[in-house]
Amino acid sequence: MAARRRSPGPGGTATHLGEALPLERKLALYRWMRLTRTLEERLVALYRQTKVVGGLFRSLGQEADAVGSCFALESRDVMSPLIRNMGAMLVKGATPVEILKQYMAKADSPTRGRELNIHFGDIGPAGTTRGFLGQISPLGDMVPVMAGVAMSFKARGEDRVGLVYVGDGATSTGAFHEGINFAAVQRLPLVVIIENNGYAYSTPTSKQTAAAQFVDKAIGYGVPGEQADGNDVLAVYDVTKRAVDRARAGEGVTLIELMTYRRKGHAEHDNQSYVPAGEIERWAAENDPIDRYVRVLTEREKVPVATLAEIDAGVAAEVDEATEIAERSGTPAPLDALEGVYADPPRERPLWFREGADVSGLGQERPEGWGTWDAGKGGAR
């Protein structure tokens, strides 16, 4: 694994399912990758202006793995992303406006200011929802949850598939193990993608597992395992489409390992001091997924450079417009914090020490004569 990352030359080649996509869809793949990168660059600018309230998580260099894999799903399918799968969320219908509002903790953000960054979702019946389920921060937890989502598809005989992303680090969690094992035993229509980007925060994969490669874990779970070059968007599409097709055909779980590289730190504050010198630069120069795909489109598909430039301009305009819209939104009203912990009761009461709180139920009226202990009478009673 480590050797592979130190030599980041283009590895796999796209196979037939990816190559067979019509040009229009191939250009759509390009557009989603470009939108991912441009939107993240905008978020960096907003972060530096302190308009992003919390941390900022980049997927620079991993756009192909997020976009290419989610592109293999149908609109009725459900996907649960990881922090570096903003591209997958965009493919599934999340909008730049939603993402920007979410990062800026706006009142009308998808979670009304309750959750951070791309931790939001939209799931439910097919046709009425876009089909992405927001992650939570404890890693691996979405594997069992998505097994449950897939279990509902199976129970109801619905023609729907689930896809869940984990990082190399999350493969070390109990939740990952229990979730994929459970889904495998139940033969659920679930695709599990391990994005091997070399690092979990600062921890290299060599300290995460003694396995030669993550895809080997598939054998232990009794499911098909496939590995692909995560920086080749068509290869990613190809491997995922095959897994999705198997799931749809009732053949159960597939484990996919996508080989990629995290060029930015865990989050924007991370200075990546733990990365060997030159590693990031080599990946940027030799194996950028967008650069690689531009070459595929222009050289093999004979797409004019002007066509791609036009897409880039459209993306830039979309991100500009989304930023303007998002910045206009206000911040949540403090009392909204008390809404919706439960369906019933619908809201919690503010505590008594908050101005305006209802203290009538406190019952702290002091009865006449109370509070003076009289030893002779054995107390006040």
Partner 1 sequence: MAGTEITYLEAIREAIDEEMARDPEVFLLGEDIGAYGGAFKVTDGMLAKYGEARVIDSPISEIAIVGAAAGAAHMGMRPVVEMQFIDFIANAYDMLTNYVATARYRAFLPCPMVVRGPSGGYVRGGPFHSQNPEAGFIHTPGLKVVYPSTAEDAKGLMKAAIRDDDCVLFFEHKYLYRRIKGVMPAGDHVVPIGKARTARVGTDVSIITYAATVHKALEAAEKLQAEDGLSVEVIDLRSLAPLDDEAIVATVRKTNRVLIVHEDTRTGGIAGELTARINETCFAHLDAPVLRVTAHDIPLPYAPALEDFVLPQVDDIVLAVRRLAAW
Q: Residue 53 is encoded by which pair of tokens?
A: 């309230």
Stretch that binds partner 1, among 48-56, 278-286, 317-325, 342-350 (CB under 8 A): 342-350
Tell whether residue 344 is a contact of partner 1 (CB under 8 A): yes
Using CB atoms within 10 Å of the CB of residue 170, give its burial: 0 to 12 exposed, 13 to 18 middle, 19+ buried.
buried
Tell whether residue 270 is a contact of partner 1 (CB under 8 A): no
Stretch that binds partner 1, among 31-39, 91-99, 123-131, 323-331 (CB under 8 A): 123-131
Tell whether residue 377 is a contact of partner 1 (CB under 8 A): no
Query: Residue 105 Cβ, how far from partner 1 at the closest point, in Å?
Result: 13
Tell whether residue 178 is a contact of partner 1 (CB under 8 A): yes
Query: Residue 189 Cβ, how far from partner 1 at the closest point, in Å?
Result: 13
Distance, CA of 280 to CA of 275 (rounded, Å): 8
Name the residue nearer to partner 1 (CB basis): 24 or 365. Answer: 365
DSSP single-letter state for residue 8: -
Tell whether residue 22 is a contact of partner 1 (CB under 8 A): no
Residue from 40, 63, 77, 141 that binds partner 1 (CB under 8 A)? 141
Stretch that binds partner 1, among 238-246, 278-286, 295-303, 358-366 (CB under 8 A): 358-366
What is the separation of C-alpha 28 from the centre of its chain, rounded to a whole number of angstroms? 20
Name the residue nearer to partner 1 (CB basis): 276 or 346. Answer: 346
Stretch that binds partner 1, among 34-42, 65-73, 110-118, 328-336 (CB under 8 A): 110-118
Residue from 269, 302, 377, 381 that binds partner 1 (CB under 8 A)? 381
Q: Give the DSSP per-residue string, 249-318.
A: TT---EEEEEE----S-SSTT---TTSPTTHHHHHHHH--HHHHHHHIIIIIS---HHHHHHHHHHHHHH
Stretch that binds partner 1, among 97-105, 172-180, 242-250, 322-330 (CB under 8 A): 172-180
SS (H, E, C) 126-138: ECCECCECCCCCC
Q: Which helix (H) or strand (E) holds 229?
A: strand 225-229
**Three-class SS state of 230:** coil
Residue from 38, 95, 111, 329 that binds partner 1 (CB under 8 A)? 111
Distance, CA of 57 to CA of 81 (rounded, Å): 13
Of 170, 137, 149, the closest CA to residue 255 belongs to: 170
Stretch that binds partner 1, among 86-94, 216-224, 305-313, 363-371 (CB under 8 A): 363-371
Of 75, 80, 77, 67, the closest CA to residue 179 belongs to: 80
Name the residue nearer to partner 1 (CB basis): 42 or 101. Answer: 101
Tell whether residue 368 is a contact of partner 1 (CB under 8 A): no
Tell whether residue 9 is a contact of partner 1 (CB under 8 A): no
Tell whether residue 340 is a contact of partner 1 (CB under 8 A): yes
Residue the block writes with tokens 């005989």: 157
Tell whether residue 219 is a contact of partner 1 (CB under 8 A): no
Tell whether residue 201 is a contact of partner 1 (CB under 8 A): no
How many CB atoms are closer than 10 A to CB 311?
17
Distance, CA of 352 to CA of 362 (rounded, Å): 9
Distance, CA of 26 to CA of 84 (rounded, Å): 22
Tell whether residue 343 is a contact of partner 1 (CB under 8 A): yes
Nearest 5°: phi and psi at 299? -85, -50
Tell whether residue 380 is a contact of partner 1 (CB under 8 A): yes
Q: Residue 346 is encoded by which pair of tokens?
A: 């619908």
| Strands 190-196 and 254-259, sheet pairing | parallel
Tell whether residue 181 is a contact of partner 1 (CB under 8 A): yes
Q: Using CB under 8 A, count the residues that bind partner 1.
A: 54
Stretch that binds partner 1, among 97-105, 203-211, 235-243, 334-342 (CB under 8 A): 334-342
Where do contacts with partner 1 occur on this chain (CB under 8 A)? Answer: 111, 114-115, 119-121, 123-125, 133-134, 136-138, 141, 143-153, 155, 174-175, 178-179, 181-182, 185-186, 340-345, 348, 352, 361-367, 370, 379-381
